[in-house]
Amino acid sequence: MSVYLERPEFEGNLLFRAFINDGMTIVYPHWHKEIEIIYSIRGTVNIGVGDDIVPVSEGEIYFFASGEPHYFLASPNSERIVYQFDLSLFDEKNVKSVNDCSLIELFETGEKHSSKWSKSLIMEMKKLLQQLFEEVEKDAPGKNYALFHLLFQLITTFYRRLPQTQIKVKKGAKSSTIKYKENLEQLDRIFTYVENHYEESITLEEIAKFSGFSSYYFTRFFKANTGTTFMSFLTEYRINQAKFILANEKVPMIEVAEKSGFASVKTFHHVFKEQVGISPLKYQKKFLEI
């Protein structure tokens, strides 16, 4: 089965989210640049990591490093809280001390399963994870500040108390991880290009040339690693930009179309309605008093 890139959908500018999945939510092999922490709150969650199946029992924690492929098997009578966050949250360039390892290295070399941690670290992490989820759920004033505070506590705790793994990585698994990291770096360049140029006309030939690929190879590379075509991804990105504008700004449709990268209002209206199910104007009316 193919392993696809997942791009978590975060709300606003805080690149963090937490949600509950039940045991019958099967997640196919995927990878992403964000760190992911799994907290089993009921029953046993069965996680696929490389060639291994790792059972994470109730009360246990497991995390994935950036770019590490994983999946979830059906795990009846279980529930898990999933936490995902981007390491750019921590402004590493300005915050990291000289003697600290990088954040990527911290998560790559640390013991990922709480069964290998000290009891005190387990208790501390369970407390932090519960507080993080409660903050996400209650939506109180100062929510983002509270989340930042707890996430920095989590990082500090891992720096000081997370044991280092003693397991040697299999040769095949190591090369596989390197491949995904190389792909992740290339995809990051592509995504950054889209973020900076989505308001302009972007052709397949242009993005392929930017990436250093032929159009044919680029098409295969992007589809194999994301599960979608580049043009479908670009359209979805522009639609999401349009949704944000429509929900927050009272501006004419022609301006929404231009700001979100569509060549004409007619094209924008057609694509938006096809993708979202309602017209841009109706979508706008859901959020603003016209």
Contact 124, 114 (CB under 8 A): no
Does the pLDDT value for residue 173 go beyond 50? no
What integer pLDDT is reported at residue 36 of this predicted model? 97
User: Could you tell me the residue ranges of all domains in the chain?
Assistant: 4-161, 193-290
In this prediction, residues 119-144 reach a mean pLDDT of 95
In this prediction the pTM is: 0.71
Specify the range with the lowest mean pLDDT, choosing from 72-86, 139-153, 184-198.
184-198
What phi and psi values does residue 68 have, to the nearest 5 degrees? -90, 115
Any idea which architecture 193-290 has in CATH? Orthogonal Bundle (1.10)
Tokens representing 126 are 């369970």
Position 266 scores a pLDDT of 94
CATH number of 4-161: 2.60.120.280
pLDDT in tens, 187-209: 888 888 998 899 999 999 999 99
